[in-house]
Amino acid sequence: MDADYIVVGTGSAGAVVANRLSAASDVRVTVLEAGPPDKDRFIHIPAGFARLFHSETDWDYATEPQKQLDGREIYWPRGKTLGGSSSMNAMMWVRGFAADYDEWGEVAGEGWNYANVEKYFTRIESGPLVVSEQRSPRSLTAAWLAAAAECGYRVEEPNSAAPEGFCQTMVTQRRGARWSTADAYLRPAMRRPNLTVITEAHATRVLFDGNRAVGVEYQHGGRRQVVRARREVVLCGGAINSPQLLMLSGIGDRELLADHGIDAAVHQPEVGRNLADHLCVPMGFDADADTLFAAEKPGQLVNYLLRRRGMLTSNVGEAYGFVRSRDDLEVPDLELIFAPAPFFDEGHGDPYPRHAIAMGPILLKPKSRGSVTLRSADPFDKPVIDPQYLSDPDDRDVLLAGLRITARIAQSPAMRAVLGAIARPTGATELSDETLETALTSVSHTLYHPVGTCRMGTDDASVVDPTLRVRGVDGLRVADASVMPTIIRGHTHAPSVVIGERASELILAG
């Protein structure tokens, strides 16, 4: 089978690339998706996303034991279905700061600065992606925003170029249901005769003729298959799968590849390095009522099915705000998030028996850096993921500052009126420094935003250049969150869609 372009992965960026490339009727595009079609009902019911964790639509990764987090392995869910992680995320549309994209412009060329990427946000938000207000937010979410105001923080509209306060979350939903990039970009494009989408097709390596990528080998139906590319191969597997596939294909650190018996086609030591992620510390509190505790009651299901209203439309992370750990910072370095739900243990532990909420800080600009490396040369082996959380002591100090702000908001009049005892960390009875330290090490987890493992840049050491071409080979690009040279102060879905839009233009421009 031949195509002009091969796209590997259908997530926040990959679905966009598949749509935009196949819009040119004179080219053929083949898309490989390792997971099944996005038919699971919990993909489409917003509040049900945690039901997808550890399922067939989840890559179901875990980190190496994290020394600074009590030696815990941190669960990393990643979407393995049409739409990728946009089919199992919390649907939060948070652009980030103009300053974040200006950082990209400094290291990867002015085409990536905010002045140049803002047009993509405008295009995306005016369709095909639907970005909407929440239909049925909980009253506790309004109380939390009131509490933030009582503590001196501004309540403002979301997604300005320089956020300075708190807001209710904008969500990628259409009439109360999830609207993934599969819904927005891929499914409309699948009607085109020049686009072929193959699900349950696990890419195992990129094929080369000399130093040019000419195809992809993949496993489908228990058999080895090959699709060949006349023009380019575009990897859109995300911050874990894209570097893994590069390394399996001989692009990576020569010595590390040799350890697994892989000959290096291109010695590129930074493949898999520069891993950054947002660490979140969600503290839990009992609440009096109006949480998502009863979201699965029959009445809520009827309300959702008939009216697309009620608790099941919730994205769980219903509000957030940006704050500074120190007054002298020009730009906030923390996000606080609020969930009117007992979203403890990432939603997959034993059900909490009563009303509760979760809220806490997110480290937006971690100094700690980790890596994704091969476990073996077997493409079906999960890679070694080591984010090295809090390995830089400054990160710990910033998160503790965020926990102190969280505690202050929890003790404000608006929150005192609706909150009860501390539910997480377990056994805590007061918001003491000891409790905050315990929370940091015992309940922190990823906010599901890994980036940077195929970073772009103008320097020779970067994995991809500013046009997203992989250095050292022809006909191969990466277009997903792995190319982000720095992590943004926001959520990675929005900038990943932008990367997909911009990558498509760069590819079609030749």
First-residue to last-residue Cα distance in the chain: 23
Identity of the amino acid at 207: L
Structure tokens at 150: 């009582």
Annotated catalytic residue 449: yes
Predicted confidence (pLDDT) per residue in 392-415, tens digit: 999 999 999 999 999 999 999 999
Q: What is the per-residue DSSP string for 308-373?
A: S-SGGG--S--EEEEE-SSTT-SS--EEEEEESS---GGGTSSPPSS-EEEEEEEESS----BEEE
Annotated domain spans of the chain: 1-63+78-132+177-275+372-383+451-510, 135-168+279-365+390-443
Say how far apart CA 6 and CA 236 lie, in whole Å.
Answer: 10
Share of residues in the chain with pLDDT > 70 (%): 100
Q: Is the pLDDT of residue 156 over 80?
A: yes
Say how far apart CA 474 and CA 92 lie, in whole Å.
Answer: 36
Q: For residue 128, count CB atoms less than 10 angstroms from its CB and return exposed for 0-12, middle for 13-18, buried for 19 or more.
A: middle
Q: Do 16 and 127 contact (CB within 8 A), yes or no?
A: no
CATH dotted code for 135-168+279-365+390-443: 3.30.410.40
Beta-bridge partners for 267: 252
Q: Do 231 and 27 contact (CB within 8 A), yes or no?
A: yes
Task: Please calculate the CA angle 498-500-64 and round it to the nearest 5 degrees.
Answer: 95
In this structure, the number of other CB atoms found within 10 A of the CB of residue 99 comes to: 15
Predicted confidence (pLDDT) per residue in 40-80, tens digit: 999 999 999 999 999 999 999 999 999 999 999 999 999 99
Predicted confidence (pLDDT) per residue in 497-507, tens digit: 999 999 999 99
Mean per-residue pLDDT, 183-205: 98
Band of residue 230 on the pLDDT scale cut at 50, 70, 90: very high
Mean per-residue pLDDT, 113-121: 98
Structure tokens at 201: 């097709």
CATH fold of 1-63+78-132+177-275+372-383+451-510 reads FAD/NAD(P)-binding domain (3.50.50)
Predicted confidence (pLDDT) per residue in 448-505, tens digit: 999 999 999 999 999 999 999 999 999 999 999 999 999 999 999 999 999 999 999 9
- State if pTM tops 0.85: yes
Of the candidates 44, 355, 445, 449, the residue annotated as catalytic is: 449
In this structure, the number of other CB atoms found within 10 A of the CB of residue 199 comes to: 16
